[in-house]
Amino acid sequence: MPRRLPGKGVHMKKIESAYIMAAGAGARMSRSPRSKPMTPVGGKPLITYGIEALEEYGISHICVIYAENSRDVLELRASFPDVEFLKQEKVTGSLSTLGIVGKHARTPFLLLDADIIVLKEHFAEMMQSVPADVEMDAWFAAVKHPRMPGVRSLEIKDGMVRVFRKQGFEEPEETHYQGGMIYLWSRFPGAEVERRLAASGKSMAEFLTDVTKNSRVGAMFIETLWDVDTPEEVERSEKLLEEMGKWTKKEKR
């Protein structure tokens, strides 16, 4: 059974569900014979980093949303018998997957990308740091110490995410952070997602950009977190995991 770690975060007793978006095509991982979520990184499928962090933290309901091109995630059912796997029949981008989540989830809930490296202890520290006396519509993960190259997509001031910009900022400043990849929704704008999908507005990035403009979005700081999109990033990730003492080459299967 999953265990709930002790802490002072406002959401310790409220969050029961988490959704992992694993329905993307993963075209940049073309050299891998597996789908991107199932690509081995550090001796295990990439998606398992998120699943293990959620289980360790004590989330009772974890749902992986997959598509036909990522159906190999079903191989994980034996290792994670308590995880639900929900197939998305038609995928038109990440926002369409978010639309599926919105139809099933009850707030507050967590949303994770499937292609991230997140360490269990860092995830727990991030969740426990969410203040108990601050009301936000959503919280976005912000990386305190980036380990991998990446754009700084968040502008954070006074603990709030003021701007989300997927392509980053032309001149990075101290208020700019790498981030996203993990989201905590306290109030989910499901109607707005459905409106955008009906109007063929399928960009997840545009949606998140508007969320930071029109909603109260807090920053939940995490020690380190990164995504893996290419074979080259798999190699860099494994080297980094070795340096961090989280994996050794002899464990590679």
The residues facing 117 across adjacent strands are 226
In sign, the C-alpha dihedral spanning 207, 212, 216, 222 is positive
* The pair of three-digit structure tokens given for residue 206, joined into one six-digit string: 């545009």
The residues facing 65 across adjacent strands are 21, 86
pLDDT in 10s for each residue of the chain, 253 residues = 334 444 445 444 479 899 999 997 666 676 668 899 999 999 999 999 999 999 999 999 999 999 999 999 999 999 999 999 999 999 888 999 999 999 999 999 999 999 999 999 999 999 999 987 889 999 999 999 999 988 999 999 999 999 999 999 998 899 999 999 999 999 999 999 999 999 877 689 999 999 999 999 999 999 999 999 999 999 999 999 999 999 988 754 4
Q: Would you call the peptide bond into 37 cis, given omega within 30 degrees of 0 as the criterion?
A: no
What is the domain extent for residue 201?
17-246
* The pair of three-digit structure tokens given for residue 235, joined into one six-digit string: 């190699």
- Helix (H, G, I), strand (E, B), or coil: what is residue 17? strand
User: Does some domain include residue 8?
Assistant: no
User: Does some domain include residue 10?
Assistant: no
User: DSSP character for 253?
Assistant: -
* The pair of three-digit structure tokens given for residue 62, joined into one six-digit string: 């974890």
Residues 6+ apart with CB under 8 A from 50: 20, 112, 113, 114, 116, 118
Torsion of CA 64, 67, 220, 81, to 10 degrees: 10
Are 217 and 137 a contacting pair, CB within 8 Å? yes
User: Does some domain include residue 12?
Assistant: no
Q: Which amino acid is at 121?
A: E
- Looking at residue 16, its pLDDT comes to 87
CATH number of the domain bearing residue 89: 3.90.550.10
Is the whole-model pTM more than 0.85?
yes
User: Does some domain include residue 3?
Assistant: no
User: Does some domain include residue 212?
Assistant: yes
Q: Would you call the peptide bond into 2 cis, given omega within 30 degrees of 0 as the criterion?
A: no
Which of 50, 59, 184 lies closest to 129 in space, CA to CA? 184
- Helix (H, G, I), strand (E, B), or coil: what is residue 97? helix
User: Does some domain include residue 77?
Assistant: yes
- Concatenate the DSSP letters of all residues of 112-177 into one string: EETTEE--HHHHHHHHHTS-TT---SEEEEEESS--S-----EEEETTEEEEE-TT--SS--TTEE
* The pair of three-digit structure tokens given for residue 35, joined into one six-digit string: 């789908």
User: Does some domain include residue 6?
Assistant: no
Q: What is the domain count for the chain?
A: 1
Are 15 and 109 a contacting pair, CB within 8 Å? yes
Residues 6+ apart with CB under 8 A from 204: 93, 94, 95, 98
Question: What backbone phi and psi angles, to 5 degrees, belong to 86?
Answer: -115, 120
Separation of CA 47 from chain center: 10
User: Does some domain include residue 2?
Assistant: no
